Structure 1
Amino acid sequence: MDLTAARAEFEYDGVKKNPRVAYALWCLTGLFGGHRFYLGDTARSIAMLFTLGGLGIWTLLDVFFIARRVRTVNQSRRATIMARHGLVEVAG
């Protein structure tokens, strides 16, 4: 691995989100959107905060979507970092 790729991977490791943390936040602060704040979904977090998780409905549904949202956020962050370092990822 060359130095640029190693730097990019190091940078990505510093910003990637952990699904366990997201689920823990869902358990502790789900009604207030804590897991969404963690994932950077600020507008939805604020909506959950003021509606108590859509009266609990959004909170219950989120348990099924957290893992996918973490993957999506991480893929987006990785692609951004790789592009910034001039590296192109191969889909696969």
Structure 2
Amino acid sequence: MRALPEWERISVLRAEAEYASVRKDARTAYLIWVFSGIFGGHRFYLGDTGRSIAMLFTLGGLGVWTLIDLLFIRGRVRAVNRTRRAAIMARHGIVDVPIVSERALGG
């Protein structure tokens, strides 16, 4: 594998730092869900404003959406982070290759 030129390395580091500043955390989303799930606080945190407002005015679909969200928060955080990372990398002109875990490679 070839080493990146210094200017490319700096660009990658800058993009990674930008991503780190906007990255969402599943534990934080779950904590917000515990305290304000019925009002859609976790959805506001993840940027799902439309659904957040719907949850706010219906008290989490009378609690149904709130309970369903408990099962889907981790996946939603991953999707939000993937989208944000791709947008940042594209803005910096970096082709972002998804990281493949060792488990997926059979290791």
Superposition TM-score, scaled by structure 1 size: 0.97
Separation in 2, partners of 1:32, 1:15:
23
Shift of 1:57: 0.1
Unaligned runs of 5+ in 2: 101-107
Percent identity at matched positions?
63
1:8 is matched with 15
Separation in 2, partners of 1:55, 1:38:
20
1:48 is matched with 55
Which of the two has higher C-alpha Rg? 2
Superposition TM-score, scaled by structure 2 size: 0.84
In the alignment, does 2:106 pair up with 1:77?
no
Q: How many residues align?
A: 92
> How large is the RMSD of aligned CA atoms in angstroms?
0.9
* 2:79 maps to amino acid: T
Give 4+ residue runs of structure 1 displaced > 2 Å after superposition. none
Separation in 2, partners of 1:77, 1:90:
14
What are the equivalent positions in structure 2 for 1:60-71 lying under 5 Å apart? 60-71=67-78
